[in-house]
Each structure stands twice: as structure tokens, then as C-alpha cells.
């Protein structure tokens, strides 16, 4: 099969070619619970850029053995082949893949609690193993599959399996406490942000304030559920304070997490409110005394559970959450990655084999 293979890290992010199209062996069923999926679309994620620049290297590749590897952790497609224990799925079914494969076949305590994201020895295709979705076929486990509603195709939903799922999970956490009349700031209205805004809109009646540095992205995101749009121009904290009666927002969801956005986000968080960190790159700095006096919460967010992916599919099926997408052929993986790196992708890029 064809795959786009990453051979070396590029800390400077200056190379013209990051991945190469190559012929690699087809995946084979090994466990009876294995399923081979014919990729219909693979999302191109900012995490892939972080992989290329080596930011994940100390975590996913401490022994320097990962490369060459195939990226792509946001995958959907059609079932090609199922292992002997697989029930309820057959060749041709269209499915989305929960991204983390349990290392215990779902029998460890985390998995029993539904937290496969914290599974023992979990693997993350496209991130910490050699196989990923920038290819024609991918092996997963039956435990990871969710059937795609008839109203949608793999290409409509692939990035939901990570970007969408992360956005959904954080929006769901915030909507558990956000009441009508309260405020929720979303920093960054790109790939994750534009999905979170729709999830918030679908699940609560709080005011949604979108804070974004690109005028185009802000314009694109406002009709998805924004009540107020604030451009990052140096006065954004003052603007949010004006909109929240000088108090800040009950929830701030930070999709950026770098270049100063964490201190900006914390400044926008009301006393007793919650700052949800999703994007990453810089350290969060806050004096412990400030944390105590303000009683603010800082909450980390990692993807979401299988059942949350199911819930998100239901929102998509009702057309309450729709993905803005830019389509590239698998052979154009380099262009998609560079476009993303250069801020030229509207919504989410997907690779279609």
C-alpha cells in the first residue's frame, strides 16, 4: 500500500519535504480483535507538525527508534477485514477510529472506567508507533470503532477522532457548569476552536466570546455560535473585561497554549472560574498566592473517551456540529502540512487516499 513516511525530524521546520510517499507492507490481522480499515480520510493535525519538529521526541521516541514512521492519528474509513472475534462489524461498514488502542484489550482499570485514553500500555497510531493514517490501510481494534451515521461519510468526520473529540470533551466539561448569563471565552477559532464553539452552542446557553488573532478565522467562526468576537490586537484582555462586567469569564478555553496565550487566558478567567488548557507549547506561570486568592481552576484536557466520540457523532448527525474542511490527496501530504504550518488551512485539512 501507499503511505507518506516521515524519515527525519526537522527542529527548524525549514525543509521542503517532510514526508515521502512510499510503498509499504499492508497491515495484517494479528489479534482476534483486530480490524483493518481502508482509510477514507486522515486529519492533518498541528500535533503532526510538533512531531516533525521533534517536540514529542522525548515522550514518543526516547530511544530514537520510532523513525521512519507514518503519521496520521485522526482516521475514518471503511472496514476491510475483521479478526475472528469481531462481532457487529463487517467489511464495508463506514467507521471512525478512537485514536488510542488499549494495551490490555480494555481490561485495565482505566479502560473499565471508560478512560482508554489512560489505558495501560496504550498505543496511539500516527504518534507513538510506526503505523498511522497517512496511508491506505490501518490496523486498529474493534474496541476503537464507532459506526458513522448514514448522513455522514468518513471524509466528513475523520478529524473528529482527535481534534473534534478534544474540542467536544473540553466543551462538555465547561457546559457542566456554565449557566445562562455566564460567559465562556474560546481562545483560538481554528481547527479545534471552530468545533468547540459549535459544541458549546449546542449544549449550553452561556455567552460565547471568541478571541482570535486572525480576522479571517474570527469572521469564519462567529456565525458558528459566537456572541462576541475579540481580535487579538493588544487590547483583548480589556475587551473581554468590558464584555464580562470587569470580572472575567466563568470558563476560558485556550486552544493555543503558546506565545503568551496562557497568561492572557488566565487574565480573562473570573475568580472561581476555570481555565481549560488544550493547546500547548509554553509553561503556565501563576503565583500560588494568586491561585489561592482567586480560587481559579486550571484544567488539563486530553482527547476524549469512546463514549464522548459517540456523543460527538450524534451532534454531527443532527447537523449541530459541522467540520470546516480542506481536502488534499494523500500524495499532497507535504503541501497539507506546509499549508497548515503557514496558516493557510481553513478549518481542518484532511488527506484522502
Residue numbers at the binding site for Zn ion (CB under 5 A):
45, 47, 162
Residue 156 main-chain phi, psi, to 5 deg: -70, -25
Of 43 and 353, CB closest to Zn ion: 43
Of 47 and 144, CB closest to Zn ion: 47
Cα(273)–Cα(252) distance, rounded to whole angstroms?
A: 8
Cβ 229 to Zn ion, closest distance in Å? 25
Grid cell, residue 27, equals: 497491515
Cβ 340 to Zn ion, closest distance in Å? 11
Cβ 8 to Zn ion, closest distance in Å? 21
Cα(37)–Cα(152) distance, rounded to whole angstroms?
A: 17
Cβ 163 to Zn ion, closest distance in Å? 5
Largest CA distance in the chain: 61
Q: What DSSP designation does 264 have?
A: H
134 and 71 in contact (C-beta within 8 Å)?
yes
Cβ 177 to Zn ion, closest distance in Å? 26
Whether the bond into 353 is cis, omega within 30 of 0: no
* Residue nearest to Zn ion according to CB distances in the complex: 45
Cα-only R_g, the chain: 20
Of 186 and 240, CB closest to Zn ion: 186
Of 162 and 250, CB closest to Zn ion: 162
Of 44 and 79, CB closest to Zn ion: 44
Grid cell, residue 246, equals: 470587569
Go through 322-341 and write b for each residue having 16 or more CB atoms within 10 A of its CB, e for each that does not: ebbbeebebebbbebbbbbb
Cβ 337 to Zn ion, closest distance in Å? 13
Cβ 264 to Zn ion, closest distance in Å? 23
Q: Is 274 exposed, middle or buried (0-12, 13-18, 19+ CB in 10 A)?
A: buried
Torsion sign over Cα 106, 108, 111, 115: negative
Cβ 73 to Zn ion, closest distance in Å? 6
Residues 6+ apart with CB under 8 A from 63: none
Amino acid at each position: 500500500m501507499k503511505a507518506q513516511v516521515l524519515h527525519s525530524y526537522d527542529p527548524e521546520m525549514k525543509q521542503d519535504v517532510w514526508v515521502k510517499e512510499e510503498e509499504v507492507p499492508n497491515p495484517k490481522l494479528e489479534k482476534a480483535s483486530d480490524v483493518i480499515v481502508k482509510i477514507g480520510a486522515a486529519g492533518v493535525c498541528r500535533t503532526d507538525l510538533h512531531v516533525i519538529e521533534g517536540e514529542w521526541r522525548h515522550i514518543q521516541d526516547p530511544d530514537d527508534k520510532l523513525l521512519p514512521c507514518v503519521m496520521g492519528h485522526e482516521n475514518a474509513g471503511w472496514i476491510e477485514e475483521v479478526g475472528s472475534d469481531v462481532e457487529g462489524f463487517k467489511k464495508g461498514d463506514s467507521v471512525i477510529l478512537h485514536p488510542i488502542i488499549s494495551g490490555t484489550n480494555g481490561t485495565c482499570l482505566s479502560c473499565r472506567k471508560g478512560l482508554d485514553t489512560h489505558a495501560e500500555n496504550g498505543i496511539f497510531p500516527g504518534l507513538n508507533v510506526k503505523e498511522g493514517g497517512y496511508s491506505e490501510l490501518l490496523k486498529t481494534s474493534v474496541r476503537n470503532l464507532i459506526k458513522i451515521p448514514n448522513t455522514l461519510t468518513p471524509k466528513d468526520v475523520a478529524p473528529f477522532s482527535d481534534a473534534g473529540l478534544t474540542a467536544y470533551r473540553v466543551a462538555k466539561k465547561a457546559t457542566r457548569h456554565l449557566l445562562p448569563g455566564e460567559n465562556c471565552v474560546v481562545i483560538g477559532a481554528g481547527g479545534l476552536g471552530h468545533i468547540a464553539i459549535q459544541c458549546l452552542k449546542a449544549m449550553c446557553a452561556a455567552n460565547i466570546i471568541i478571541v482570535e488573532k486572525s480576522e479571517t478565522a474570527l469572521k469564519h467562526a462567529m456565525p458558528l455560535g459566537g456572541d462576541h468576537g475579540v481580535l487579538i490586537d493588544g487590547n483583548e484582555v480589556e475587551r473581554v473585561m468590558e464584555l464580562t462586567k470587569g470580572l472575567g469569564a466563568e470558563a476560558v478555553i485556550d486552544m493555543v497554549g503558546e506565545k503568551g496565550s496562557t497568561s492572557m487566558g488566565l487574565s480573562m478567567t473570573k475568580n472561581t472560574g476555570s481555565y481549560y488548557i488544550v493547546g500547548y507549547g509554553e509553561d503556565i506561570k501563576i503565583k500560588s498566592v494568586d491561585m489561592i486568592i482567586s480560587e481559579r481552576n486550571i484544567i488539563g484536557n486530553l482527547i476524549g473517551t469512546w463514549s464522548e466520540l459517540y456523543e460527538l457523532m450524534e451532534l454531527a448527525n443532527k447537523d449541530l456540529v459541522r467540520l470546516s474542511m480542506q481536502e488534499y490527496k494523500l500524495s499532497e501530504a507535504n503541501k497539507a502540512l506546509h499549508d497548515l504550518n503557514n496558516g493557510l488551512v481553513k478549518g481542518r485539512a484532511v488527506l484522502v487516499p
